[in-house]
């Protein structure tokens, strides 16, 4: 069984092509832009894990300064190609390591976005904490920081065949085999991640994912299985890390943009919105 690291996965030409087809915003991102519409023109923005520019067209002309970064050279190159000839002079893309952000001075940005669960691809728990400290360093006092991450509490539910089947019962009226299919998927996910299950506050998990999951075009070979690893935490551990890095005023949102508690286990993705400490704005 071959498991791709995120570093390898996001350099693949077919994956870059898939990400190059994305141009949408998620509901929490749209809500955030509406909420801060009057402030955006004054803000210097860092778009971390920009990928192939999914968010860029929505942001680069709305902020005072826009910098999109990614660890993948192929993704950054795709951004340059995608926006060639239509980038404002205040926008740029570059390859950078979020664990250090050595190219940026302290307090350089008023708004940092790290979308699409990019934090889960950074490395282990210590590297994740290092990335949060680096982001805090380049945030101006009171700067807004928004990011998304997978939810380890949801993962625990997802590897329980009984709980997965129960969760699929509402769909059984239209799709009678939905509970059985959900139970099989849970069992498969559990086998991929044995031993260890979902115990603890953080862990590496293995996921089988079709690359056409979000794209309009089918990029995956019919016989290809794609297994990727990522590091995932509970919301509680994520909150602890944010406080330790110097962030405050945390809100946790589900994919619809609704506020949820740190004990939420029904949301596979969570969005975290917080402020850099040191300012009352």
End-to-end CA gap in the chain = 50
Same domain, 96 and 68: yes
Same domain, 263 and 136: yes
Q: Residue 218 above 50 pLDDT? A: no
CA-based angle 127:67:25, to the nearest 5? Answer: 85
Q: Residue 90 above 80 pLDDT? A: yes
Q: What is the mean pLDDT of residues 188-202?
A: 76
Same domain, 95 and 179: no
Distance of alpha carbon 138 from the chain centroid: 19
Average confidence score pLDDT of the chain = 90
pLDDT band at 172; cut points 50, 70, 90: confident
Please, what sign has the CA dihedral across residues 162, 166, 167, 168?
Answer: positive
Report how many domains make up the chain: 2
Rounded CA separation 122/204 (Å) = 11
- Residue-wise pLDDT tens digits, 115-143: 999 999 998 999 999 999 999 999 999 99
Residue numbers of the domain that contains 267:
6-150+234-276
Q: Residue 191 above 60 pLDDT? A: yes
Strand ranges of the sheet holding 65-70, from the earlier edge strand across to the other edge = 91-95, 65-70, 44-48, 109-114, 139-150, 269-276, 247-253
**Which pLDDT value is given to residue 1?**
60
Q: What is the DSSP letter of 219?
A: -
Residues 125/202, Cβ–Cβ less than 8 Å: yes
With H, G, I as helix, E, B as strand and everything else as coil, classify residue 99: coil
Q: Residue 216 above 50 pLDDT? A: no
Residues 237/202, Cβ–Cβ less than 8 Å: yes
Asked whether residue 281 is domain-assigned, the answer is no
Percent of the chain residues topping a pLDDT of 90: 67
pLDDT band at 225; cut points 50, 70, 90: low
Q: What is the mean pLDDT of residues 3-26?
A: 90
**Which pLDDT value is given to residue 224?**
59
**Strand 44-48 relative to strand 65-70: parallel, antiparallel, unpaired?**
parallel
CA dihedral 74, 96, 99, 125 (to 10 degrees): -10
Asked whether residue 70 is domain-assigned, the answer is yes
Q: Residue 223 above 70 pLDDT? A: no
**Which pLDDT value is given to residue 7?**
87
267-276 per-residue burial string, b: 16 or more CB within 10 A, e: under 16 = bebbbbbbbb
pLDDT band at 256; cut points 50, 70, 90: very high
**Which pLDDT value is given to residue 101?**
98
Rounded CA separation 137/67 (Å) = 16
CATH number at residue 15: 3.40.50.150
Same domain, 130 and 86: yes
Same domain, 106 and 201: no
pLDDT band at 206; cut points 50, 70, 90: confident
**Strand 44-48 relative to strand 109-114: parallel, antiparallel, unpaired?**
parallel
Residues 231/215, Cβ–Cβ less than 8 Å: no
The region of weakest confidence among 55-69, 88-102, 213-227, 233-247 is: 213-227
Same domain, 128 and 62: yes
**Which pLDDT value is given to residue 280?**
58
Q: Whose CA is closest to 111, among 86, 135, 78? A: 135
The region of weakest confidence among 117-131, 223-237, 265-279 is: 223-237
Rounded CA separation 15/52 (Å) = 10
Asked whether residue 1 is domain-assigned, the answer is no
Q: Does pTM top 0.85 for this prediction?
A: yes
Percent of the chain residues topping a pLDDT of 70: 91
Q: What is the mean pLDDT of residues 53-80?
A: 98
**Which pLDDT value is given to residue 59?**
97
Rounded CA separation 175/179 (Å) = 9
């Amino acid at each position: 069984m071959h498991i791709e690291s995120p570093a390898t996965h996001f350099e693949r030409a077919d994956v870059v092509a898939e990400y190059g087809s994305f141009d949408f915003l998620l509901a929490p991102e749209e809500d955030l832009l509406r909420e801060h519409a009057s402030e955006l023109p004054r803000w210097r923005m860092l778009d971390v894990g920009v990928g192939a520019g999914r968010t860029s067209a929505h942001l680069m002309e709305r902020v005072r300064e826009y910098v999109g970064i990614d660890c993948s050279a192929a993704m950054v190159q795709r951004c340059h190609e995608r926006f060639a000839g239509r980038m404002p002079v205040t926008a740029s893309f570059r390859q950078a390591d979020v664990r250090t952000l050595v190219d940026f001075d302290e307090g350089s940005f008023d708004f940092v976005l790290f979308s699409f669960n990019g934090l889960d691809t950074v490395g282990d728990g210590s590297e994740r904490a290092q990335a949060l400290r680096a982001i805090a360093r380049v945030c101006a006092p009171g700067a807004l920081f928004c990011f998304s991450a997978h939810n380890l509490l949801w993962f625990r539910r997802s590897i329980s065949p009984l709980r997965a089947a129960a969760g699929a019962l509402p769909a059984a009226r239209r799709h009678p085999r939905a509970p059985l299919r959900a139970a099989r998927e849970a069992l498969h996910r559990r086998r991929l991640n044995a031993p260890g299950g979902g115990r603890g506050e953080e862990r590496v998990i293995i996921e089988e994912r079709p690359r056409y999951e979000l794209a309009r075009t089918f990029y995956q070979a019919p016989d290809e299985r794609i297994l990727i690893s990522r590091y995932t935490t509970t919301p509680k551990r994520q909150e602890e890390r944010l406080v330790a890095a110097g962030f405050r005023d945390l809100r946790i949102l589900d994919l619809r943009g609704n506020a949820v508690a740190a004990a939420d286990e029904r949301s596979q993705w969570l969005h975290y919105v917080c402020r850099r400490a040191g300012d009352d704005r």
